[in-house]
Structure 1
Amino acid sequence: MSQLILFNKPYGVICQFSRDGDRTTLADFIDVPGVYPAGRLDHDSEGLVLLTADGRLQARIADPKFKMAKTYLVQVEGTITDEALAALRKGVQLKDGMTRPAEAERIADPDLWPRDPPVRFRKTVTDGWINLTIREGRNRQVRRMTAAVGFPTLRLVRQAVGPWSLQGIEPGTWRAVDAA
């Protein structure tokens, strides 16, 4: 049985082990030899990153052909409309083509850890949260999708990948589990 590391990546961490100047990387948090990320999160995104030493498991998680669900909590600028949610559910036209349909719903502000640095607050601009599940993984896809429907992303936290979730894992910490 393969082992999988569930890591809650903080904002600003680069999803690689090799040094990139003075930027914080996975190596600053995970001292397990031979594991690699199964998919990535941008440095300005937070949340669940899966790591494994099993190449087949890594491919099953990261390769879009397997359509593994990835669920995000997304803070957007403005109060997202029903029309924008419907567009996300249908699929959004991006420069690199149409996205697959997503699951999208408006949610109450989630109980999350504070981000460092905090999201910029503006008195004159509202914000809201959505729960968004996609089954592909293009570069900066969630941010591009919300922008395409008129609601730029302010904060992005990946909550789950397939059956694995962040539940009980604090930012900057990880837990090892057996992967079926």
Structure 2
Amino acid sequence: MDSAPKTTQNDIRQQEKLHALTGRLDNYASLLDNKFRIPGTNIRFGWDALLGLIPGIGDTMTLLFSAVILIEAKRIGAPRALLAKMAANMGIEWLVGMIPVLGDAFDVYWKANIRNMDLLKDHLAAQNPDLILPEAPAPGKGWYWSLILIGGLFLYLVFLSLQQLPI
């Protein structure tokens, strides 16, 4: 007699939902951490690093964007220890990100969202070995958008500094 548990329609639907959710969250993490590439290098960065350039509020804004992955992990039942590791990744990126210049470089290196997705997918795979998770998305091919965004941010920062000058 076969004692292996039977896969039910409900199990299949649950796996399909997890597959779709991890795919969406992978795309979201890639958008935040890997969307753009510095031309001529293999250095990738995303909206997290760009928004972190905004003085005062940028890193806090990106912390809120990163919380989406943490909230979804909690919603699907990730254990507290995993949530704590994910929150620590976010906290490290936020704290170091507050340091001018060094924090911006650290944002490009640390990639808390990608790290958190790797942690979540490892947990899901360990919980259910039959679960087939989607591959992480290929980083965006938008070097020209990188130049436009960096140029726009540079002009914005110049504009901010010009407003500080006494006239």
Q: TM-score, normalised by structure 2?
A: 0.29
Give the helix-richer structure, 1 or 2. 2
Quick check: which one's strand share is greater?
Answer: 1
Q: Normalization by structure 1: what TM-score?
A: 0.28
